Structure 1
Amino acid sequence: MKAPALTLSLIFAAGHAAADETLLFTTESYPPFVIEDAASPPRGISVDQIRGIMAGSDLDYRIEVMPWARAIALAETQPATCVFSAAQTPERKPRFKWVMPLAKSRSILVKHRNAGVAAQTIDEAKAFTVGTHRSDYTETVLQKLKFPKIDISSTFDVTLAKLLRDRIDLMPMSQDVYEQLHKRGVEIEKVAQLTEQSLGIACNRNVPWQTIKTLQTKLDRMIADGTQARIYRAHGLEPPLP
């Protein structure tokens, strides 16, 4: 009779330890959704939503900014880890537990203004070198569309720097990010729409379903009461359509 009692106590202890575990949120620098500044904690549209979701929660958490390939790899392989904002593609969907949506993204191809890239459609763009960053969902999109010349960098910022130095001809980015960069005077021009995706929080499959349910309930409430829309507008963007 002692063995079952011991087993039950171990199960209870394991569950209690899981509840007390710090939840790590990994992400990449991607203004205005994730803004990294050495003088202050991360902020931005996506970060502010994470903080709102976790406000009042019994769970401890932290946010770490890193290259996207590492951010998503950690979420897939390390318990108690989630990555944001991740596109929920068919390839990724079964590999994570999801909390949706933090954003709805329309990705476009852009070129360096006056760079002499004569492309107005996806098919015409295939004649040029297109850059993106490692493990971003646009890498898979470009491969599926059979772009023959894809240049892979470690981060979005590195890819953008290559574009502005004419080391690549085109790159994908969200319409929202394009509009922000355009307002700041960055010399880029839209070429064509690439794809549309819903983005959210992708959690390791070992994160308990009760935790996922709690996060989803908080996000649903933020969307319903207008908090998500206010966060978007505070950063100069219109919220995603329902």
Structure 2
Amino acid sequence: MKVPALTFGLIFAAGQAVADDTLLFTTESYPPFIFQGATGPVSGISADQVRAIMEGIDIDYRIEIMPWARAIALAETQAATCVFSAAQTPERQARFRWVMPLAKSQSILVRHRGAGVAAQTLEEAKAFTVGTHRSDYTETVLQKLKFPKIDISSTFDVTLAKLLRDRIDLMPMSQDVYDQLHKRGVEIEKVAQLTDQHLGIACNRSVSWQTIKAMQTKLNRMIADGTQAKIYRTHGLEPPR
């Protein structure tokens, strides 16, 4: 996937990162931001942005989908590894080198429509079992808000399946994902807003600052020239504001 750099400056920045000749980008399945069909590459709003960022940088890379807990753990412990889309929370800030933002996400709590979960506020929601997936930032958010009954699954899809089978009462998800699921007829409904977050690429601290700068420069350009907005609209969503 080596492509000539767009500017001399970008070539120079990437060229200085001799240790970053190959990068692994780990991620989870989270349509429409990250998904993969039976054939073809990993796609989606976030994945397409990562691919566009790397087109201008002379570094080989690959993208792998895996459970989120493993994806973020690898990025923190394994050299030349980045994870996306990661929420830039205070707890994570110093643990990674960041390229921001791929997305701005409003996280909400949702319930299975017709399940009889009588909650309209976060305080009322604390009476119910809330599910999320391991090492997702919403796990920390729920803990900080002192939700007493948190059910942890391996992936977002497993948590959603539990919700639809009434094995849990509530779960968090981004407003964008909720809108897509709602359009597809998935029987969920919004209860309350949980948090707002900026999401981006979180890289192992061994990834050189030259590489991080080159990636951030390209992302900034994509935001300014409308490329990010075009990627959003290609997948049926309006870009963040």
1:160 is aligned to 2:185: no
Q: 1:166 to 1:221 in 2, by over 3 A?
A: same
**CA–CA separation in structure 1 for the residues paired with 2:56 and 2:49:** 13
2:203 aligns with 203
Listed as ranges, the matches of 1:188-227 within 5 Å are 188-227=188-227
Matched residue pairs, number? 226
User: What SS is found at the alignment partner of 2:36?
Assistant: strand
1:67 aligns with 67
Q: After superposition, what is the alpha-carbon deviation per residue over 1:77-99, rounded to whole angstroms, capped at 9, x for unaligned?
A: 00000000000000000000000
Please state how far the C-alpha of 1:35 moved relative to its aligned partner. 1.0
User: What SS is found at the alignment partner of 1:206?
Assistant: coil
CA contact (8 A) 2:27 2:63 kept: yes
User: What SS is found at the alignment partner of 1:31?
Assistant: coil
**CA–CA separation in structure 2 for the residues paired with 1:238 and 1:16:** 35
Listed as ranges, the matches of 1:115-126 within 5 Å are 115-126=115-126
Listed as ranges, the matches of 1:175-190 within 5 Å are 175-190=175-190
CA RMSD of aligned residues (A): 0.9
**CA–CA separation in structure 1 for the residues paired with 2:218 and 2:115:** 46
1:236 is aligned to 2:233: no
Which stretches of structure 1, 4 residues or longer, exceed 3 Å deviation after superposition? Answer: none
Q: After superposition, what is the alpha-carbon deviation per residue over 1:46-104, rounded to whole angstroms, capped at 9, x for unaligned?
A: 00000100013210000000000000000000000000000000000000000000000
**CA–CA separation in structure 1 for the residues paired with 2:97 and 2:129:** 34
2:9 aligns with none
Q: After superposition, what is the alpha-carbon deviation per residue over 1:96-128, rounded to whole angstroms, capped at 9, x for unaligned?
A: 000000000000000000000000000000000
Please state how far the C-alpha of 1:19 moved relative to its aligned partner. 3.9
CA contact (8 A) 2:126 2:149 kept: yes
CA contact (8 A) 2:20 2:80 kept: no
Please state how far the C-alpha of 1:17 moved relative to its aligned partner. 4.8
CA contact (8 A) 2:162 2:168 kept: yes
**CA–CA separation in structure 1 for the residues paired with 2:85 and 2:18:** 27
TM-score normalised by length of structure 1: 0.92
2:23 aligns with 23
**CA–CA separation in structure 2 for the residues paired with 1:200 and 1:218:** 13
Please state how far the C-alpha of 1:38 moved relative to its aligned partner. 2.4
CA contact (8 A) 2:104 2:196 kept: yes
**CA–CA separation in structure 2 for the residues paired with 1:138 and 1:207:** 26
**CA–CA separation in structure 1 for the residues paired with 2:182 and 2:17:** 49
TM-score normalised by length of structure 2: 0.92
| Residues 127-136 or 49-58, more deviating | 49-58
The letter of the residue matching 2:145 is L
Q: After superposition, what is the alpha-carbon deviation per residue over 1:146-187, rounded to whole angstroms, capped at 9, x for unaligned?
A: 000000000000000000000000000000000000000000
1:76 aligns with 76
Listed as ranges, the matches of 1:127-166 within 5 Å are 127-166=127-166
**CA–CA separation in structure 2 for the residues paired with 1:18 and 1:39:** 32
**CA–CA separation in structure 2 for the residues paired with 1:32 and 1:17:** 34
